[in-house]
Amino acid sequence: MTAIHSQADARVFGWLESLEKARQAAQENSLDMSEENYYTHLVIEEMSPGIHCQVQNEWWYSWLDGHWQACPKPDWAQHTTNWSIG
């Protein structure tokens, strides 16, 4: 799970063993992943194991009205993957 302020400013919050747990963490805003409204987007990436891992799926959220809400991948992120690796 990675919170994103801009393409050059992202913070990895962690890895969870299931999509269900990751979505629950987003829903609950665990550890204040918005960091008091600083981060505007959150991405959950499903990665394959290995070196130079491939992203299998990704789920995007936007910080709106004090909650992470599912959203389409933003235009500015269309050609970027592996947010969690940096």
Q: pLDDT band for position 61 (50/70/90)?
A: very high
Q: Is the pTM of this model over 0.85?
A: yes
Give every strand in the sheet of 55-64, ordered side by side: 9-12, 2-6, 41-47, 55-64, 67-71
Distances (CA, A) of 39 to 31, 42, 47, 55, 63: 13, 8, 22, 22, 7
For residues 9-13, average pLDDT: 89
The pLDDT value recorded for residue 86 is 58
Residue 21 near residue 33, CB atoms below 8 Å: no
